[in-house]
Amino acid sequence: MTGTPAAGATAPGRLRVAVLGAGLMGSAIAAEYAAAGHTVRVTTSPGTGARAAVDRVRRHLAAPADVEWSSSTPEAAAGADLVVESLPEIAATKTAELAAAQRAAPAAILASNTSSLALAILGADLSDPSRLIGTHYLNPPLAFRVVELVQGPATDPAICERMAAILRSIGKTPILVRRDVPGFVLNRLQFALLREAVELVDSGVVSAADLDRLIRDGLGRRWSAVGPFGTIALGGAATFRRVAEELYPVLSRRQDPPPSLDRLDLDDEAIAELRAARDRALAGWVDEQAERYGRRSAGGDRAGH
């Protein structure tokens, strides 16, 4: 495949979806599938608060109550068309549960919500690794449309096309990652910028607060409009080349996280202010995404109810 899977792919009908893991990510993913009209079964353990988390998201999206609960992966996956794995980022845990899911549902698509682990590793114990694909959601899933769709070395291209159609059917925009590289695309970009950000603060060029402000109100705003390649095109490739010749040799090449990261920790009051600002922005984005279902929440419930 040479690009994002074609938008013309056939949309799925009502699916039987198993979600392995009901943490914050898994709960939101399960609720989104339920809101899109699919039958959802979620694995959870007693006392985790997972049911309350799913119910909160369902109320926000006015999703139907078609969510079932299972105590084991084989029980949840039995008869599933799609298995979404959203377990802790531990290779052994993910590998074992994905293998158990495939034994219970050999024909199901296995979609791992890993943010860093190679699909070649996660598929090592599968009898049919061609059905394994990566679907890396941004957290919280309700605030973002984009999902990295990671094609592993053994992934069947037809599975990739099918999963792209499924994601579009629940209001997501799949971004095809054509090679299974560490960190995929989003985290590689994020950490490249973070490495240079820490270097600039650590070397006394700028304060952490001013750097955050510059990204939030400057570079982030520019890139949110046209993206990095659009920025190059508008500025001119020749200009970019000249600036790159000056800057590439002096950018950070640090291989290990610097000890100075510890000094960038903020006090509790500053963290609370940051969290409040983030949550205000996320709440607005979540409401925007909820509108794709033709609904908008009011205090966590369906508007008008």
Torsion of CA 76, 77, 79, 83, to 10 degrees: 120
Sorting pLDDT into bands at 50, 70 and 90, what band is 9? low
Residues 21 and 160 placed together within one structural domain of the fold:
yes
Token pair 């996320």 is found at 282
- CATH number of the domain that residue 219 is part of: 1.10.1040.10
157 lies in a domain?
yes
133 lies in a domain?
yes
Alpha helices in 88-236 (DSSP H): 91-104, 119-122, 157-169, 186-202, 208-214, 220-235
Cβ neighbour number for residue 34 with a 10 Å cutoff: 25
Section 108-112 average pLDDT: 98
* Residue 242 pLDDT exceeds 80: yes
Q: What is the pLDDT of residue 105?
A: 98
Section 227-234 average pLDDT: 95
Residues 53 and 80 placed together within one structural domain of the fold:
yes
Residues 161 and 25 placed together within one structural domain of the fold:
yes
Query: Which is more confidently placed, 297 or 192?
Result: 192
The pair of structure tokens assigned to 276 is 């409040």
Give the residue among 93, 81, 92 at the shortest CA–CA distance from 21.
Answer: 93
Residues 146 and 254 placed together within one structural domain of the fold:
no
33 lies in a domain?
yes
Range of the domain at 208: 186-294
Rounded alpha-carbon distances, angstroms, from residue 193 to 34, 111, 206: 36, 28, 15
Q: What is the pLDDT of residue 53?
A: 73
* Residue 299 pLDDT exceeds 60: no
The last residue of one of the domains, among 120, 152, 177, is: 177
Q: What is the C-alpha to C-alpha distance for residues 49 and 61, in angstroms, rounded to an integer?
A: 19
Q: Which pTM was predicted?
A: 0.86
The pair of structure tokens assigned to 286 is 């979540």
Q: What is the pLDDT of residue 194?
A: 94
Residues 138 and 284 placed together within one structural domain of the fold:
no
The last residue of one of the domains, among 153, 177, 201, is: 177
Decide: 41 and 19 in contact? Cβ < 8 Å.
yes
* Residue 302 pLDDT exceeds 50: no
> Within a 13 Å sphere around the CA of 286, how many CA atoms are in the beta-carbon half?
24
299 lies in a domain?
no
Structure letter (DSSP) for residue 131:
G
Query: Which is more confidently placed, 12 or 79?
Result: 79
Q: Please report the beta strands in the chain, taking only residues with DSSP state E, as ranges in sequence order.
A: 16-20, 39-43, 67-70, 82-85, 109-112, 132-137, 146-150, 173-177, 297-298, 301-302
Decide: 128 and 104 in contact? Cβ < 8 Å.
no
Residues 142 and 275 placed together within one structural domain of the fold:
no
Sorting pLDDT into bands at 50, 70 and 90, what band is 46? low
Residues 26 and 148 placed together within one structural domain of the fold:
yes
Query: Which is more confidently placed, 292 or 96?
Result: 96
Average predicted confidence (pLDDT) for the chain:
87
Tens of pLDDT, residue by residue over 118-161, are 999 999 999 999 999 999 999 888 889 999 999 999 999 999 99
Number of domains in the chain: 2
Section 7-35 average pLDDT: 83
The last residue of one of the domains, among 120, 146, 177, is: 177
* Residue 215 pLDDT exceeds 70: yes
Residues 101 and 119 placed together within one structural domain of the fold:
yes
Q: What is the pLDDT of residue 27?
A: 86
State percent of the chain over pLDDT 70.
Answer: 88
* Residue 296 pLDDT exceeds 50: no
* Residue 181 pLDDT exceeds 70: yes
Q: Side chain identity at 231, as an amino acid letter?
A: T
210 lies in a domain?
yes
Residues 80 and 120 placed together within one structural domain of the fold:
yes
Residues 54 and 30 placed together within one structural domain of the fold:
yes
Lowest mean pLDDT of 67-76, 248-257, 269-278, name the range: 269-278
